[in-house]
Amino acid sequence: MNKVVRLKKYFFGIFFLIVLFGCKATIALYDQYAYTQATSLKVDLQNLALVSDSVSYEIAKPDIDKANTELQKAYEYNKGRDQNSLSAKQYETLLSDERFYKNFLKDWKMKGTESAIMSKNIYDQIGDLMDQIIKLENGKNK
């Protein structure tokens, strides 16, 4: 009988440790730097979309390159954070060659300038996606 009680305590102790380690946070904590990156990127990317109907791709190329570098930095930063795969996947949407942002840049380069309708559409899409990233970061435990 005494062995049974010790065995139950042993299993209870193991079970408690498994539960304790299994209950760690499932999403990264709030990060002010990531939030600042996201809000800054939103403005930069939306500004590119706005000027695409009046400024040629070639003239905007330095700003495009700068924004793309900042986008890559934000992605790498967020990808490297523990339990932050949701934010990283949202940045992957912008970086993907098959998604709207890269297609927008290819189209802008090919045409020289975009239509006002396309410019506004991309502005809205970028805003929506960046708002999701910003809200996700802002909603994390501080």
DSSP string, 97-140: TTSHHHHHHHHHHHHSS--HHHHHHHHHHHHHHHHHHHHHHHTS
Q: How long, in residues, is the chain?
A: 142
Query: 100 with 75: CB under 8 angstroms?
Result: no
Q: Cα angle at 90 between 137 and 98, to 5 degrees?
A: 165
Confidence of residue 140 (pLDDT cuts 50, 70, 90): confident
Q: Report the distance separating Cα 111 and Cα 115, nearest Å.
A: 9
Model-level pTM?
0.78
As a whole number, mean pLDDT of residues 106-120 equals 96
Dihedral sign (CA 61, 47, 29, 87): negative
Q: How does pLDDT run across 43-66, given as a tens digit for each residue?
A: 999 999 999 999 999 999 999 999
Report which of residues 99 and 107 the model is more confident about.
107
